[in-house]
Amino acid sequence: MDPLTPIDEAMVNDIRSTIRQCTERGLLASAKWLSEMFMSIPSAKRTHTRPPPPPVDEQEQAEQDYIAAARQSMSDKQFQRAAYIVRDCRSDKARYYNLYCQYLSHERLALDEWYRLSDKKEQPTSPVNNEIPILLEGIAHSTEPWLMFIEALFLSRMSRKGEAITALLNVVASKPWIWAAWCLLGDCIDSEKEYDDVLARIPLLANHPVIYMFRAKMLNDLHLASTQVQICDHLLNPEFFPASLWVMSMKSRGYACLSSVTFYGPMVIAKVLNSSEYRDAQTQFERILSIEPNRLEDIDFFSDILYVMDNKEKLSFYAQKFQEKDKNRPEVCCFIGNAYSIRTEHENAVKYFRRATYLDRTYYHAWTSMGHEYLVMGNTHAAIEAYRRTLDITKKDYRAWAGMGQAYRVLGMYNYSLYYYERASALRPNDVTIWDGLGSCYEDTERIQEAISAYSRALKIGINQSLPGINWKLGSIFRSMDVWPAAEQHFRTVVQIGEGAEGRLNNSEPYLGSLLALSERNIRFDSGNLSEAKEYLERVAASNTELAGRAAAMLKAVKAKMGLKGKT
């Protein structure tokens, strides 16, 4: 990996200037992000210089009073008024305000109409803004960077992603620190191939710091964690952005993405209490909170970490803490939803996930989590609708694809289920839950060899090589095929896991079923160990499960057989 381009006086001035320009143009999220990145640069690099005054645009200078009035109306969210104030102005900045404020005004109306149709068949997948093509006509083929950004925004909103990408590459070529442009560029990318193609086309040096930031973001969005941690380490170098909480958050996500089991809410098939990746992710995020306790960005991801690690106490503690800070943040609502979910209070969890979507309809993390809750509650159709909302917003959330696969499997629609699971596996090929779902689908459709391959793939991935549920399924398949050597191997693996789990699996189907299966094998074959069969059956018979009665009957047969052997 090439060393980063040094942060010099010109780069510092460029960042400062872009922060001011983003603020002036109402791109407040971008200005906030860039300000935080700027403040994480060592102070010695920041304080020695001030940016030169921008070149004077005579047209803009003449319209300065109109622009100032429009900016004030825009900051008060009076978008129609702001657009009207600069309707006759001709400078690039005034045109920006006119077009952007018209867009925001019509977007708000479209969103109101979309919410009015909520829960009705007539509701479209996303708000419909019919004014965008008209606005685009007045800006097409502009060469001014900020107007090109608006053009790209319109093109992206119209799903003309190829044209939007071209416009955005032109924007970052002249204004590399407009983070809103990089985020919009990321929204236009749905696959690893598209990402590689765009990365090769970016008209900046490959080792420019903002390229590394974009790579960290996209590797996280596309779940390609192979180099994400190393990229973040480069950015956290003392000479670059050592105090950046955003980069630290990306590093935490990178650690979690390296694990083979990820967050599926109440559907998670395995806790990862001993996962070094999740421990590292939790440690990294707790470091962020120790540096800035009031930072609420990315806390939804932190709640996912605590959920998968089964840390109910910290989930509840932080949920209360964050609720006191700002209960109207979508991330906080999602955190509270997870805190309810882990306590199996699924109705309350859904309430908070839905509240998060009311606060931000594009917050797909909440839609996906809501789908998980509905699946566990048995409301399959509501789960499918929630997952569809996610996939309408982004095609990059593999958990929504996998959730759709599980939902259609519950409905017995196996071809649909396989399609969605395969889409999920393409996005996240090292995820145990996805391969487990694929294996179950293949098993349901009697494609036994493919089921064996899928389950075996799950066992080979990452830290969860000995998942009891998957070993139990493989053992059951081999037993049904009368391939007892392979079946015995998987059943014994389950028993070993159960004996090392400090009683957590004592009443689980995989553990008790494996004890029964091994007992059956010992009874059936002359080489069987009847003493072991007796011990295992006594364990199952003592359990408070449906298998206890069958185990008791088998235990009588074993004792009778042992008695006969004793007489001979």
Output the six-digit token pair for 44: 């010695």
3: which residues sit within 8 A by CB, 6+ positions away? 207, 234
Output the six-digit token pair for 470: 């998957």
Give the pLDDT score at 464.
46
Which CATH fold would you assign to the domain 466-567?
Answer: 1.25.40
Per the CB < 8 A criterion, the answer to whether 204 and 211 are in contact is yes
b/e map 454-479, b = 16+ CB within 10 Å: bbebbbebbbbeebbbbbbbbbbbbb
333: which residues sit within 8 A by CB, 6+ positions away? 327, 352, 353, 355, 356, 359, 366
User: 410: number of CA atoms within 13 Å, CB side?
Assistant: 18
Question: Which DSSP category does 267 fall into?
Answer: G
| DSSP letters for 159-200 | T-HHHHHHHHHHHHHH-TT-HHHHHHHHHT--SHHHHHHHHH
Tell me the C-alpha distance between 475 and 479, whole Å.
6
Give the pLDDT score at 127.
87
97: which residues sit within 8 A by CB, 6+ positions away? 25, 67, 70, 71, 74, 82, 83, 86
For the chain, which residues make up each domain, given as ranges? Answer: 466-567
Give the pLDDT score at 503.
64
Over the chain (568 residues), what is each successive 10-residue block's mean pLDDT?
84 94 95 96 81 77 94 94 94 95 94 83 84 90 93 95 96 96 96 93 94 94 84 93 95 81 56 68 92 92 89 93 94 96 95 95 93 95 95 92 95 94 90 90 94 92 67 94 93 87 74 90 85 89 85 85 64
Task: Specify the 3-state DSSP secondary structure of 52.
Answer: coil
Per the CB < 8 A criterion, the answer to whether 51 and 13 are in contact is yes
Task: Specify the 3-state DSSP secondary structure of 503.
Answer: coil
Instruction: Centre a 10 Å sphere on the Cβ of residue 243 and count the other Cβ atoms it contains.
Output: 17
Give the C-alpha distances (Å, rounded to integers) separating 345 from 266, 269, 320, 337: 10, 18, 16, 9
* Burial (0-12, 13-18, 19+ Cβ within 10 Å), 44: exposed
